[in-house]
Amino acid sequence: MRELRGLDKPVFVAVNKSERRQDFSDAADFHRLGMEKVRAVSALHGDGVADLLDDLVGVLPERPPIEESPCDLAVALVGRPNVGKSSLLNAIVGERRALVSEIAGTTRDTVDTELNWRKHRIRLVDTAGLRRKGRHDKGVEYFSILRTLRAVERCDVAVLLIDAEQGIVAQDARVAGEIHEKGRGCVIAVNKWDAIAKDTMTAKRFEEELRRELAFLSYAPVITISALEGQRVGRVLETAWEVGQAQRKKVETSVLNDILDKAMRRNPPKAHKGRMGKVYYATQTAVAPPTFTLFVNQPSNFVRHYLRYLNNRIREAVGFEGTRILIDLRKRS
Ligand SMILES: Nc1nc2c(ncn2[C@@H]2O[C@H](COP(=O)(O)OP(=O)(O)OP(=O)(O)O)[C@@H](O)[C@H]2O)c(=O)[nH]1
Ligand SMILES: [Mg+2]
């Protein structure tokens, strides 16, 4: 051990054959040897191995970004542990690619799967579920969150899975917020639809609850699915593709200005400091998410709810299902 310390590298101690020990009182002995990181593991049964791996991952140097093979669409499957992300991946791909189990936290790392779909190349990214705070899996939890955020960052469209049995929980809102903030496309898939008692109102009521809890994602299509039975899993991919297209859609400047003219004539912005708000000219300046720059006389005339009104009119006229739309105001005198 002295030699190991001399190397000036992080050292971890794995105390093997610990499967029979309930409390790990011997750890103190190992700490006395000057080793900071001591883990009781059982190579035979797998106890503690994941935690050890998390310790190791924690000291790895930042990797340069991985060169990703080009694809037409990257879809991330995100959601709380056990919601059925890996099951959905398997159902879409049609074979058992990812490990599925009833133990929350089965998927520990992000797994990419590429598939051909209608002559398009699609990358599906299975993620580790965002975990609730737990005393024993701090490390696991932290890295799961980081991985989810990273998966959202590098996707075009995120499929947010919600558990039909559990309803919407705080973690769902957290991931949803991230998708929205990053301007990624979003499809909401309510999974385990097979497992709940249903009447004719169930789907409607569930969607109402969703819209209330995740109001900012009002643009995201909702699909009720069963990854287990394969119900509507094809629709998920199809919808994700459409959302991806919507994200990259470009509106011609003349069309855009027509939409805005009409909307403003129907419902002009309130005068501010005695002046009427005017849009001289508008143009789409970005895609994914679609961003519209409006050159106006007085930005202060365009208050938040008025921008929402214009936003909705653009959405109505063009159809941007599954994607956020941004309006950017520029003052032009
Ligand atoms: N009834 C029902 N059970 C499902 C469905 N989809 C998944 N499950 C079950 O839910 C459990 C978790 O499924 P996974 O696919 O491993 O979930 P996950 O989201 O990948 O979980 P983590 O990797 O732990 O984050 C398993 O027991 C699945 O069989 C579904 O549509 N209906
Ligand atoms: Mg999984």
Distance, in Å, from the CA atom of 145 to the CA atom of 278, rounded to the nearest integer, reads: 44
Q: What is the pLDDT of residues 161-193, one digit of tens each?
A: 999 999 999 889 989 999 999 999 999 999 999
Ligand 1 atom 2, closest CA? 192
Looking at the CA of 193, name the nearest ligand.
Answer: 1
Residue 120 has pLDDT above 90, yes or no: yes
Cα torsion at 199, 200, 206, 211 (round to 10°)? -170
Question: What single string gives the DSSP state of each residue in 277-318?
Answer: --EEEEEEEETTTTEEEEEES-GGGS-HHHHHHHHHHHHHHH
At 189, give phi and psi (nearest 5°): -110, 115
Residue 263 has pLDDT above 70, yes or no: yes
Q: What is the pLDDT of residues 60-103, one digit of tens each?
A: 777 666 566 789 999 999 999 899 999 999 999 987 777 777 77
> Which structural domains are found in the chain, ordered by start?
2-59 (no CATH), 73-247 (3.40.50.300), 253-331 (3.30.300.20)
Q: How remote is the CA of residue 145 from the centroid of ligand 2, in Å?
A: 14
Cα torsion at 60, 66, 72, 77 (round to 10°)? 0
Q: What is the pLDDT of residues 283-295, one digit of tens each?
A: 999 999 999 999 9
Cα torsion at 216, 306, 315, 85 (round to 10°)? -10
Residue 24 has pLDDT above 70, yes or no: no
Distance, in Å, from the CA atom of 141 to the CA atom of 129, rounded to the nearest integer, reads: 9
Residue 12 has pLDDT above 90, yes or no: no
Under 8 Å between Cβ of 184 and 143: no
Peptide bond before 61: cis, by omega within 30 degrees of 0? no
Residues constituting the chain: 333
Q: Which two tokens stand for residue 299?
A: 């930005």
Q: What is the pLDDT of residues 125-164, one digit of tens each?
A: 998 876 655 545 555 566 667 788 889 999 999 999 999 9
Q: How remote is the CA of residue 170 from the centroid of ligand 1, in Å?
A: 19
- Confidence (pLDDT) at 148: 87
Ligand 1 atom 8, closest CA? 84
Q: How remote is the CA of residue 270 from the centroid of ligand 2, in Å?
A: 51
Please choose, from the candidates 108, 110, 115, 109, the residue with its C-alpha nearest in 3D space to the C-alpha of residue 69: 115
Nearest-10 crossing angle of helices 138-153, 170-182: 30
- Confidence (pLDDT) at 1: 73
Residue 247 has pLDDT above 80, yes or no: yes
Q: Ligand 1: which of 77, 80, 87 to mutate, judged by most atoms within 8 Å of the beta carbon? A: 87
* ∠ CA 104-108-111, rounded to 5°: 120
Ligand 1 proximal residues by C-beta, below 6 Å: 81-87, 100-102, 104-107, 128-129, 191-192, 194-195, 226-228
Mean pLDDT of the chain: 87
Ligand 1 atom 23, closest CA? 107
Q: Ligand 1: which of 77, 80, 82 to mutate, judged by most atoms within 8 Å of the beta carbon? A: 82
Under 8 Å between Cβ of 24 and 18: yes
Cβ-in-10-Å burial (0-12, 13-18, 19+) of 78 comes to: buried
- Report the share of the chain in percent with pLDDT over 90: 59
Looking at the CA of 165, name the nearest ligand.
Answer: 1
The least confident of 76-85, 104-113, 183-192, 230-239 is 104-113
